[in-house]
């Protein structure tokens, strides 16, 4: 068996950030990610028209809130620029199919930041900081087993189905609670209370779907609109300017007001067409002259959502991790996904906060063992 000081499971923002910190601390580790790319819920598409590799369009999280100081610091550390969410201009509100959309002046929301070029650039910047020998993509962890003081981690290569068992003294799980419950066999190592808590806490974004349409120019801005709209008609219930940078990569995105089960039962191409027609109704004829359009239903991504997520209404996660401090410490187990954060759980900031907490506890454990 292969043994490392630390094993990290999950290569989203929390897992990559944790690996980045361990690299800086010279703590040996290996990171396993089931998909063939990093990012987790940070998922982006590149424009196919101008082949500009510096731009990505976010289909997952996109906003950095004013109080998200850790995210701002990480972006600065990785030399990634932030820009303000475009909110200049009027907002469109559509209340009913029989009523024309209304234009509302000065209706903008809070001042939010976004990463210039798209949030996936942060993922690429983190990946570039890692030694290639310290991570494995297409490596799905199928089970965990605690044998005395050692974790046995069964990893399957999703390309050739080969299986390897790795060992570690310290295990960091950078996955949402329900994915841990679904795939990582907590019945083998967790108390009944911890197992129930993992199942109970919802996965953030698991029942969301986003649509993006890209354009060669921001026609809505030219018409005095912010690109922001709210609709009780649908299929998108909330729409925003999604341009990848302040003056390039122009786009609009919307949250689709359909459950993942409903989306699964319809034609994706038909749903995309409905979204374009809605943009045309809200912002004008120019909306039909898009370059590319993308749709991502997170509830239909098995690496994000579970059956329980798909059947429950969306809710903010609240795990109360401190109640399990003693059990987790005895297991040398660290929970680092955003849902485990005590502040901003589910958000980007929560991922960094949860990872920082896990790293701090790990450092104390390693320091204790060194004496």
Average pLDDT over residues 162-177: 97
| Residue 236: per-residue pLDDT | 98
Q: Mean pLDDT in the chain?
A: 94
- In CATH, the number for domain 45-117+207-302 is 3.90.660.10
| Residue 49 pLDDT class (50, 70, 90 cuts) | low
CA pseudo-torsion sign 126, 132, 137, 142:
negative
What is the reported pLDDT for 115?
97
Residue among 208, 190, 171 at smallest CA distance from 316: 208
The predicted model scores a pTM of 0.95
Rg, Å, the chain Cα set: 22
Question: pLDDT tier at 371 (50, 70, 90 boundaries)?
Answer: very low
- On the question of pLDDT at 131 being above 70, the answer is yes
Q: Is the pLDDT of residue 353 over 60?
A: yes
pLDDT of 180 over the 80 cut: yes
- Structural contact between residues 345 and 316, judged by C-beta atoms closer than 8 angstroms: yes
Provide mean pLDDT across the span 323-351: 97
Long-range interactions of 306-313: CB distance < 8 A, separation 24+: 306/178, 306/179, 306/181, 306/182, 306/203, 306/206, 308/178, 308/199, 308/202, 309/178, 309/202, 309/203, 309/206, 309/207, 310/206, 310/207, 310/259, 310/260, 310/261, 311/261, 312/202, 312/207, 313/207
Mean pLDDT of 277-304: 96
pLDDT-based confidence at 260, cuts 50/70/90?
confident
| Residue 349: strand, helix, or coil | helix
Q: What is the dihedral of CA 122, 127, 128, 133, to 10 degrees?
A: 170
Half-sphere exposure at residue 36, Cβ-oriented, CA atoms within 13 angstroms: 3
> What CATH number matches the domain at 1-42+119-202+304-371, 3.50.50.60, 2.60.120.10, 1.20.1250.20, 3.30.1280.10?
3.50.50.60
The full DSSP string for 150-211 is: EEEEEEEETTT--EEEEEEEEEEE-S-HHHHHHHS-GGGTS-HHHHHHHHHSPPTTTT-EEE
Tokens linked to 196: 């129930």
- Provide the pLDDT confidence category of residue 111 given band limits of 50, 70 and 90: confident
Q: Where are the domain boundaries for CATH 3.90.660.10 in the chain? A: 45-117+207-302
DSSP class of 57: E
- The residues with which 146 forms a beta bridge, in sequence order, are 151
pLDDT > 70? residue 281: yes
Interval 145-150 mean pLDDT:
95
Q: Give pLDDT tens digits for 52-100.
A: 677 999 999 999 999 999 999 999 999 999 999 999 999 999 999 999 9
Find the range with the poorest average confidence among 21-35, 44-58, 142-156, 309-323: 44-58
| Residues whose CB falls within 8 Å of the CB of residue 267, separated by 6 or more in sequence, listed in order | none
pLDDT, residue 107, reads: 67
- What pLDDT sits at residue 51? 57
Positions of CATH 3.50.50.60 in the chain: 1-42+119-202+304-371
Q: Where does the pLDDT of residue 314 fall: very low under 50, low under 70, confident under 90, or very high at 90 and above? A: confident
Give buried/exposed letters for 72-107 (b at 16+ CB in 10 A, else e).
Answer: bebbeebebeeeebbbebbbbbbeeeeeebebeeeb
């Amino acid at each position: 068996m292969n043994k490392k000081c630390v094993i990290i499971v999950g290569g989203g923002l929390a897992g990559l950030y944790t690996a980045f910190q361990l690299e800086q601390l010279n703590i040996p580790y290996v990171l396993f990610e089931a998909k063939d790319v990093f990012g987790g819920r940070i998922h982006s598409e590149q424009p196919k028209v101008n082949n500009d590799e510096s731009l990505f369009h976010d289909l997952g999280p996109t906003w950095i809130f004013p109080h998200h100081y850790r995210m701002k610091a990480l972006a600065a550390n990785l030399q990634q620029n932030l820009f303000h969410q475009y909110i200049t201009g009027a907002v469109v509100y559509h209340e009913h199919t029989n009523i024309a959309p209304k234009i509302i002046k000065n209706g903008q929301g809070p001042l939010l930041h976004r990463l210039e070029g798209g949030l996936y650039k942060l993922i690429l910047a983190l990946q570039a900081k890692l030694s290639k020998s310290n991570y494995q993509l297409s490596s799905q962890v199928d089970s965990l087993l605690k044998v005395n003081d050692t974790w046995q981690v069964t990893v399957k290569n999703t390309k050739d189905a080969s299986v390897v068992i790795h060992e570690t003294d310290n295990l960091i799980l950078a996955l949402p609670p329900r994915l841990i419950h679904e795939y990582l066999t907590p019945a083998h190592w967790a108390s009944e209370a911890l197992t129930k808590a993992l199942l109970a806490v919802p996965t953030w974004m698991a029942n969301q779907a986003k649509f993006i349409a890209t354009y060669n120019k921001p026609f809505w801005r030219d018409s005095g609109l912010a690109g922001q709209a709210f609709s009780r008609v649908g299929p998108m219930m909330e729409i925003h300017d999604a341009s990848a940078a302040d003056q390039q990569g122009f786009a609009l995105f919307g949250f689709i007001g359909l459950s993942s089960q409903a989306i699964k039962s319809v034609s994706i191409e038909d749903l995309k067409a409905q979204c374009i027609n809605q943009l045309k109704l809200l912002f004008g004829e120019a909306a039909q002259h898009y370059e590319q359009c993308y749709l991502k239903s997170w509830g239909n991504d098995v690496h994000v959502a579970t059956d329980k997520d798909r059947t429950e209404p969306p809710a903010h996660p609240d795990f109360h991790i401190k109640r399990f401090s003693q059990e987790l410490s005895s297991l040398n187990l660290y929970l680092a996904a955003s849902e485990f954060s005590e502040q901003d759980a589910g958000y980007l900031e929560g991922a960094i906060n949860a990872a920082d907490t896990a790293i701090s506890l790990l450092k104390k454990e390693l320091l204790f063992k060194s004496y």
